[in-house]
Structure 1
């Protein structure tokens, strides 16, 4: 089974401590919950369910996990760090009611503060994920660390997460393999008369069967509904000739790979073929600009220039590339003015898309590893579909 080993979490802590020293931080509190899991999972492997969580990383000493009582055993099962403390403020995120847990062994932020001070002064604490912390919880954190300067340090984790280790890449590759299997099943079994929900269920079932931790989303629309840009599958009946826009994201050990390739239920029209031709060519243009040392903005500029040449600019709504990893979309997210360079070890998604066109809306998306000489696609299916389309103008998989 593909896992991130404990040694890698320890190495991440040491890398964070280097950045903390540069910012004169004596500790970092990294927040997460079920919906904003990325930073917390990166530093601890803990992914809360229903509740809130945090890991506090001091300059010296072992990190402290903050959890809530209902998920305590789940936290201990997942966490890379054994020191787990329960706080009532971190309980269920979805209700305002105070929930009683008579068997819980609570501590307090004051007690955690005293533990941290055993290792030295505690004058400045970085908060990672401050934008996701609800106001009442933030108020409790400020009271618990009264007299200590709290600094927004979210940028430190974005910096650490920008390039991926071999273990992280393996997680993404496995997620892409599973996504391929789910998407292939949809392409092979789509037919007029089934509903969008029935079609989506094929991907959900296959991906979970293949080992997905979860599917963060399955976007699926058909016919006129493709103009919604993003949309959940509905009870709409798919008609003959309906274009399908389906994007599935698969998560393995926290890491998310995504794929999307246009396909049609039943008979495909010449106009739909021309539309897909443009997307396939645009993605090839994007891929040709990806390699270590190249400017990220060149991908954006090249795709936009091609869309302009094809009179598609009015349907081009956002940049054709973004990062991927512990979130489906993460840094980098370049525009035409970005000065950032691609670095070997970055993982990115193409997201080449056109929306609102008379013959359809759709995107091509696949997860990629940036290399010194170019890129490696994590999706064998998207590469196969693209090749087959260019050779035969058909969307078929074996």
Structure 2
């Protein structure tokens, strides 16, 4: 079973406390909701549904979770921490109405603040998730924690999340395995005359059947629609010879692996073959620069230099690699000037792409683990497709 054990959440909290001491922060509030779940799930395993949530991590004492009434039992089912407290400000995120929950046992932010002042001599409160928090909630926190300095502590969580434990990597590997299964089914069954929605539904269904906790997105466009860079599947009918750009992200225990490899419905033209070859060769070049100790900017520069040599720079719109983990895209997201180095245990996605090219728009994306000597791909399918393409110039799913 793929899961993060309770002792790992304890270890995360202890690591965070070390960073808090360095920053003279006595307590951290980690905000999250259904859409921006990453930091909250990292520290508490709670992923709110409809409502808001937060974890409080004090220097002295055990963390606790703040939730809202409708999701209280769901929170207790998921949370790594037993102490769950309810406040009305965390109720349903999508309506302005005040919702009555007559049996809810509320506390308040003021009461929480008072307790933290007593137990932790609270002077500085770090908030993780300021960029995701609604203004009204931040105002309520500021008023309730009157006399306490509030600082942005988001960098502390991003720092902790940058490298992954073996358990985290296992969750990502399982997500990649499931994504492979869904994507493979699309390549096997795509045919002219089906709609984009029909094709995408194959991946959705297979990934759910294989055990995906969630499918954060299944991007799918065809023909001229591939030039939108990203796009949801539509009722458009796929024609013979149209390129498909599909990217599927699969989530397991919060961890998201993503897969994208170009394919064509029906007959493949020589121009499409040449275009896909550009992406395959560029990704192989990127992978040759990926290992612990290597500068992240050098990988980006190598891909950009290759595209420049092939005279396709105008279609190269963004860097070819980013981190992955509890979000499909997370730090690092290096550019050519980055002097940061890769570290063993980092998990990243290649995202080698060209958009607006006369013969198509597409990307190759696969999730990888950085190792001391190079990398380990989480996607057997992308490695197989890439190898077959380089050897034969065709997309083949023959084992």
Same fold (TM over 0.5): yes
- Contact map agreement 1:188 1:396 (CA 8 A) in 2: no
Alpha-carbon separation, structure 2, partners of 1:320 and 1:358 = 20
1:160 corresponding residue in structure 2: 160
1:55 corresponding residue in structure 2: 55
Q: Deviations over 1:187-210 (max 9, x none)?
A: 000000000000000000000000
Q: Deviations over 1:291-348 (max 9, x none)?
A: 0000000111000000001110000000000000000000000000001000000000
Alpha-carbon separation, structure 1, partners of 2:150 and 2:313 = 45
2:303 corresponding residue in structure 1: 303
- Contact map agreement 1:193 1:237 (CA 8 A) in 2: yes
Q: RMSD of aligned C-alpha atoms?
A: 0.6
Give the drift of 1:64: 1.4
SS in 2 for 1:80: coil
TM-score (norm: length of structure 1): 0.99
Q: What are structure 1's unaligned runs of at least 5 residues?
A: none
1:233 corresponding residue in structure 2: 233
- Contact map agreement 1:53 1:65 (CA 8 A) in 2: yes
Runs of 4+ in 1 over 4 A off after TM superposition: none
- Contact map agreement 2:249 2:258 (CA 8 A) in 1: yes
| Structure 1 position 134 matched with structure 2 position 163 | no
1:331 corresponding residue in structure 2: 331
SS in 1 for 2:182: helix
| Structure 1 position 281 matched with structure 2 position 267 | no
Give matches, 1:351-370, under 5 Å: 351-370=351-370
Alpha-carbon separation, structure 2, partners of 1:220 and 1:109 = 44
2:109 corresponding residue in structure 1: 109
Give the drift of 1:19: 0.3
Give the drift of 1:376: 0.1
1:268 corresponding residue in structure 2: 268
Give the drift of 1:369: 0.2
Equivalent pairs counted in the alignment come to 398
Give the drift of 1:118: 3.7
Give the drift of 1:231: 0.2
Give the drift of 1:390: 1.0
Q: Deviations over 1:134-191 (max 9, x none)?
A: 0111111011111100010100000000000000000000000000000000000000
Give the drift of 1:116: 2.0
2:173 corresponding residue in structure 1: 173
Alpha-carbon separation, structure 1, partners of 2:324 and 2:275 = 26
Give the drift of 1:227: 0.2
Alpha-carbon separation, structure 2, partners of 1:76 and 1:115 = 22
1:251 corresponding residue in structure 2: 251
1:121 corresponding residue in structure 2: 121
Alpha-carbon separation, structure 2, partners of 1:28 and 1:120 = 11
- Contact map agreement 2:3 2:167 (CA 8 A) in 1: yes
1:28 corresponding residue in structure 2: 28
- Contact map agreement 2:127 2:151 (CA 8 A) in 1: yes
SS in 2 for 1:119: helix
Give the drift of 1:117: 3.0
1:13 corresponding residue in structure 2: 13
Alpha-carbon separation, structure 2, partners of 1:276 and 1:308 = 16
TM-score (norm: length of structure 2): 0.99
Q: What are structure 2's unaligned runs of at least 5 residues?
A: none
- Contact map agreement 1:19 1:156 (CA 8 A) in 2: yes
Alpha-carbon separation, structure 1, partners of 2:218 and 2:60 = 42
1:40 corresponding residue in structure 2: 40
2:196 corresponding residue in structure 1: 196
- Contact map agreement 2:58 2:120 (CA 8 A) in 1: no
2:218 corresponding residue in structure 1: 218
Give the drift of 1:392: 1.3
- Contact map agreement 1:26 1:121 (CA 8 A) in 2: yes
